[in-house]
Chains A and B, each alone.
Chain A
């Protein structure tokens, strides 16, 4: 197990390094410098600006400095916001992203599991078809379309919640719902399949035969066993959430990482693009690592398979 974790950590570092390198050279390919908008400056002034951003060195030196600074958590200075450290800009934006991300994950998986459970219990009944239909819609309808519907009907027409922006807890509700629909759909589908399998197994029949009531069978004997494989879908879910936040934050003007990323792309603010890319990549890799490890902890069979 330790060897496996170390191996995975090794891969993680290699991947992060590759992404950092890749983004750095990509940014060098792109047109535009901090001077683009200010070419009326004199030679000396231009030199001062270039030096400030470390752009006066040859590219290999810049790359070396970038990697060294990166390992110390220094991502450079933003082009767009004068003299502001990229690290601070990004750090203050993690909060809102985390808020809606975590809320959506909790709301989505819990509701999805309930939906899947209902589906499995009333297999092939009206409720089953209903919840399967919701799951298909939730999985298929693009997040921006769903967010648009929410914004128009709930925000504009009904006026229940603020249409956009950030501040009070009411502001978090619509982004959370829009983001939660994907985990909800995935969890519901998965839960249904697992629960059907579990409910058909022998120990459930035994429990029934011993006189455990339906509620007890489903929640005590069934649910626990169906939960184990649910960990397997957490990976795709987390990826969906990261993609989702980029869209949702922009639609609802949430001051999070996704919104900053898109803003930076549209304003050619390279240090911020690099910073957010690395952060998103890091989150992504980290989540996958944690899930893979969780896997092994929860289900010994997987641990054995990995050990071979």
Chain B
């Protein structure tokens, strides 16, 4: 049996090193670094983030990129279609087109010309179908608006609205105002929600009970109705819309924060801090709230798009910002009025608002996955 025992020479004493066991093989990552690493791997979220950054930069610098002012009206250039040099193939060549039908080709051509004030010099017509198959003849007319108005030296990248205001400038100004309202509303929601939820959960007992009953009643009131009624008495404006949005907006934040703090407040680190004599206020600010930051960020990211939606929605039902201020909502509302003939007025603000909403939603989804410890490999 002795043969099976390994000989002592095989064993070499390991040189003893200080702190060997304490050494960390990989660089330590804070919660935020770790989350950000995971976020970076999420392609969708990164695209969303990039889109948002571009849109925010455009909202800041876009209005200064051409010479037209936000409120510069000129009926002589009303409802100009969009025109960008070099982007003609995208349909942004400064022309309007329409397909008109008539009994014969001539009839259809006349109709098509009439559609654009018989300005025949600048209308190109082409026959779509000559009516030989028994159906009405169809003629497509393309009207070069810029040439007709002798404005070939100018170009409105997004076109102009019914009062001749440049839509490029107005769209980005509007984006700025919509983002401003949304960010402000989200920030106020966050502050009120975190304070309310935190206090309610931390003090517990009767305080919690009363505070929760209040929330339960408020929850039952549809926020849409409250927002509309508030706007009715407050007179539409940036601040009043923000206030109306925050009146019920903080509730979901308060509920989420309360739930988390209820879980956290009995943990040892809170007890330790309390034993060391920290006042409630310090425990809340320094120990509890930082531990729910992830959730707060996610919830705020979901609040922002809904605030943008509500702002646009208010404009849509006629309770939005007063004219001539542009916001995405008022622009879209304007666009609907001439949707059939001049769809470009609706198109660009609609694209911008959709992009903002999609980007925020995708980014918020990505953040939720990144902050969720269960997703950690």
Which A positions have Cβ atoms within 8 angstroms of B?
Answer: 11-12, 14-15, 18-19, 22-23, 26, 29-30, 136-137, 139-142, 144-145, 148-149, 151-152, 156, 239, 242-243, 246-247, 250-251, 262, 265-266, 273, 277, 280-281, 284-285, 288
Contact = CB atoms under 8 A, between A and B. Distances in A.
Contacts, number: 101
Contact of B225 (A19, A144, A152): A19
Nearest to B351: A145
A142 B233 contact: no
B361 A142 contact: no
8 contacts: A30-B232, A144-B332, A148-B332, A152-B343, A152-B346, A156-B339, A246-B313, A281-B220
Contact of A277 (B217, B225, B362): B225
Contact of B229 (A14, A23, A137, A144): A23
B270 interface: no
A139 B225 contact: no
B228 interface: yes
Contacts of B313: 142, 144, 243, 246-247
A148 B339 contact: yes
B357 interface: yes
Given A136-B358, A140-B361, A141-B354, A12 B220 contact: yes
Given A265-B228, A265-B232, 15 more contacts: A11-B220, A19-B221, A22-B229, A136-B358, A142-B313, A145-B350, A148-B346, A148-B350, A152-B339, A152-B340, A152-B343, A156-B339, A239-B222, A243-B224, A251-B336
B232 A14 contact: no
B224, B360, B361: residue with the most chain A Cβ atoms closer than 10 Å: B224
Contacts of A18: 217, 221
Contacts of B340: 152, 156
B318 A266 contact: yes
A30 B229 CA distance: 10
A166 B92 CA distance: 36
Given A29-B233, A151-B339, A141 B217 contact: no
Contacts of A284: 220, 222
A142 B318 contact: no
Contacts of A247: 313, 316-317
Interface string B335-365: 1100110010010001001100110111001
A262 B318 contact: yes
A183 B233 CA distance: 32
Contact of B354 (A140, A262, A288): A140
B216 interface: yes
A281 B222 CA distance: 6
Nearest to B312: A142
Given A30-B233, A243-B224, A246-B224, A141 B339 contact: no
Contacts of B233: 26, 29-30
B78 interface: no
A19 B218 CA distance: 10
B308 to A, nearest CB: 8
B217 A15 contact: yes
B319 interface: yes
Q: 7 nearest interchain CB pairs?
A: A15-B220, A140-B357, A140-B358, A284-B222, A145-B350, A262-B317, A140-B361
B358 A144 contact: no
B224 A142 contact: no
B305 interface: yes
A149 B217 CA distance: 38
A271 to B, nearest CB: 14
B180 interface: no
B71 interface: no
B317 A250 contact: yes
B309 interface: yes
Nearest to A19: B221
Contacts of A242: 222, 224
